[in-house]
């Protein structure tokens, strides 16, 4: 209790350093993000507080939220209540440990299920995204350590400004599509008919390849998990690591799977539940990312997870769960647009389409460019990693409706870049990677009617503070 009081005092002191107007906007105005995807976070914490035990608690990102059928787990593992505490990779894994740790009780089984990414296997924490989850539930600040509170204070002015802007529009944000709070059921699972099939061109998201490199796991992450494991043990509970759902079409070094998980267990000092190969699934079982099973894939992953838990418990009972039919893969949509700048780019082939990999000499000299829809008879569908690195003259880039993927660091280091124009009014149509604007002060301009949608979208909300209406 004393520690919590100190943390709250520190938080208040940090917030008091922020001008009063911003404090009013951020803390006193009605919640604006309650209907957005991250509006679910506070409800998941409440589930941990009130759900009776013993429980199976799933801690991770959205892979767990999309991938697990909690009711099915409860049916196959009687005696346990299931709480799906999977949320959003951009928050970071460690903050999910922070929020869950005080609520672990005797008899609980905690499954740690982070996505197989460098971000989620580190001490990554995004305060801008976290504020969206805290909106209307600021009491959760008491659960966070001092270093995260300090970073939250730095991100508060931008959050307050965005919240005030939403308030002036006259209604709280209500994102379209699946990435909204009401897509979650009472167990914390994503449950929606919208995610019925694989919607990724070619069956996988090229911006997030899945790798099994031992150096992906940072020492800061390993240390935090070990501390968490000690706290779980002290509470009379147990902690296991469970592989997340992984799209096999996106795996680049499957031969390293066993070595990776052997190293992981040694560094984290917690057991591994299940055979990792059982969680690498066919592309047809996924929805819109390499870690999000579709409605049918949820059953496949949950069955594998149930079998893993049973094996850990020494339960030899059969797991007779019939599997659904695998949905069809999405077909690429052809679109014709402005191809006049096509010769300014270099390309690489991805699943029968093209990804922009860089700029030609002519392209390096240009100050404004439009990524083409088609080049030499093939659709251009993606921007590759660090594609525009070194483009010192580029001030404006336009992405047409054909672009479905923008990979990590695509515009990193473009010091002169001012405007990234996104023509699509549907943010879900284009998945965006990490560190998009690293080394640049560019703003992202979207159709005015889609402004709120981009700022609250699962993928784009990380860049919400840089998103502007196109007419500006």
**Tens-place pLDDT, residues 75-121:** 999 999 999 999 999 899 999 999 999 999 999 999 999 999 999 99
- C-alpha 112/C-alpha 114 separation (Å) is 6
Residues in Cβ contact with 62 at an 8 Å cutoff, skipping those fewer than 6 apart = 86, 87, 88, 89, 115, 190, 289, 291, 292, 458
The token duo for 273 is: 């539940």
The token duo for 326 is: 């695998």
- In this prediction, the residues of the chain whose per-residue pLDDT falls under 70 are 1-18, 21, 24, 170-175, 330-336, 351, 472
Counts of helices then strands in the chain (DSSP H, E): 13, 17
Do residues 75 and 82 touch, judged by C-beta distance below 8 A? Answer: no
Please write the tens of the pLDDT for every residue from 143-179: 999 999 999 999 998 888 888 877 877 666 666 778 8
State which CATH number among 2.30.110.10, 3.40.440.10, 3.40.50.12480, 3.40.50.11540 fits the domain covering 342-469.
3.40.50.12480
Domain with CATH 3.40.50.1110 in the chain: 2-313
Do residues 350 and 383 touch, judged by C-beta distance below 8 A? Answer: no
Residues in Cβ contact with 313 at an 8 Å cutoff, skipping those fewer than 6 apart = none
**3-state DSSP of 244-261:** CCEEHHHECCHHHHHHHH
CA 221 to chain centre: 17
pLDDT at 421: 95
pLDDT at 412: 86
- C-alpha 41/C-alpha 47 separation (Å) is 10
| Alpha-helical segments (H) within 314-458 | 361-365, 451-456
pLDDT at 436: 86
pLDDT at 221: 97
Q: For strand 396-399 and strand 419-422, is the pairing parallel, antiparallel, or unpaired?
A: parallel
Please write the tens of the pLDDT for every residue from 395-426: 999 999 989 889 888 998 899 999 999 999 88
- C-alpha 422/C-alpha 446 separation (Å) is 5
pLDDT at 186: 94
Q: What is the DSSP letter of 446?
A: E
Do residues 300 and 293 touch, judged by C-beta distance below 8 A? Answer: yes
Do residues 421 and 397 touch, judged by C-beta distance below 8 A? Answer: yes
**How many CB atoms are located within 10 Å of the residue 14 CB?**
18
Residue that has been written with the tokens 């911006």 in this structure: 207
Domain with CATH 3.40.50.12480 in the chain: 342-469
Whose CA is closest to 287, among 298, 300, 279, 301? 298
- C-alpha 458/C-alpha 231 separation (Å) is 31
pLDDT at 148: 95
DSSP string, 367-395: SEEE--SEETTEEEEEE-TTTTTT-TT--
- C-alpha 421/C-alpha 455 separation (Å) is 15
- 168, burial (CB in 10 Å: exposed 0-12, middle 13-18, buried 19+): exposed
Do residues 81 and 208 touch, judged by C-beta distance below 8 A? Answer: no
Residues in Cβ contact with 397 at an 8 Å cutoff, skipping those fewer than 6 apart = 368, 369, 370, 371, 388, 411, 417, 419, 420, 421
Return the biggest CA–CA distance within the chain: 67
- What is the CATH number assigned to the segment(s) 2-313? 3.40.50.1110
- C-alpha 281/C-alpha 372 separation (Å) is 33
């Amino acid at each position: 209790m004393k520690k919590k009081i100190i943390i709250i005092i520190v938080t208040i002191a940090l917030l008091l350093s922020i001008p009063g107007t911003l404090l009013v906007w951020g803390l006193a105005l009605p919640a604006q993000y309650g209907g957005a995807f991250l509006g679910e976070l506070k409800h998941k914490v409440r589930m941990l507080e009130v759900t009776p035990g013993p429980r199976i608690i799933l801690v991770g990102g959205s892979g767990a939220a999309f991938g697990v059928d909690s009711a099915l787990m409860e049916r196959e593992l009687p005696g346990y209540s299931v709480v799906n505490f999977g949320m959003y990779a951009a928050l970071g894994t460690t903050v999910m440990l922070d929020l869950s740790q005080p609520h672990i009780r005797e008899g609980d089984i905690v499954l740690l299920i982070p996505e197989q990414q460098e971000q989620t296997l580190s001490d990554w924490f995004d305060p801008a995204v976290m504020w969206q989850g805290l909106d209307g539930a600021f009491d959760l600040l008491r659960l966070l350590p001092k270093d995260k509170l300090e970073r939250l204070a730095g991100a508060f002015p931008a959050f307050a400004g965005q919240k005030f802007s939403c308030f002036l529009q006259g209604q709280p944000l209500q994102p379209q599509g699946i990435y909204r709070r009401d897509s979650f059921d009472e167990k914390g699972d994503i449950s929606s008919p919208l995610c019925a099939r694989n919607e990724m061109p070619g069956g996988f998201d090229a911006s997030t390849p899945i790798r099994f490199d031992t150096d992906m796991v940072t020492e800061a992450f390993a240390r935090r998990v070990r501390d968490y494991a000690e706290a779980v043990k002290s509470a009379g509970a147990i902690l296991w690591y469970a592989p997340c759902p992984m799209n096999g079409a996106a795996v680049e070094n499957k031969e390293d799977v066993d070595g990776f998980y052997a190293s992981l267990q040694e560094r984290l000092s917690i057991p591994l539940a299940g055979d990792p190969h059982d969680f690498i699934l066919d592309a047809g079982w996924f929805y819109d990312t390499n870690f999000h099973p579709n409605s049918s894939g949820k059953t496949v992953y949950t069955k594998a997870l149930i079998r893993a838990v049973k094996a850990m418990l020494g339960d030899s009972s059969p797991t007779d769960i019939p599997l659904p039919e695998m949905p069809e893969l999405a077909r690429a949509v052809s679109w014709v647009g402005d191809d006049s700048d096509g010769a300014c780019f270099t390309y690489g082939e991805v699943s029968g389409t093209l990804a922009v990999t860089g700029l030609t000499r002519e392209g390096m000299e240009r100050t404004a460019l439009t990524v083409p829809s088609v080049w030499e008879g093939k659709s251009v569908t993606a921007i590759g990693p660090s594609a525009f690195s070194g483009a010192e003259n580029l001030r404006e880039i336009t992405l047409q409706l054909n672009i479905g993927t923008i990979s990590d660091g695509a515009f990193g280091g473009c010091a002169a870049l001012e405007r990234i124009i996104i023509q699509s009014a549907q943010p879900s149509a284009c998945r965006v990677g990490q560190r998009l604007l690293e080394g640049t002060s560019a703003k992202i301009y979207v159709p005015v009617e889609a402004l709120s949608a981009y700022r609250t979208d699962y993928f784009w909300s990380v860049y919400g503070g840089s998103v502007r209406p196109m007419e500006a």
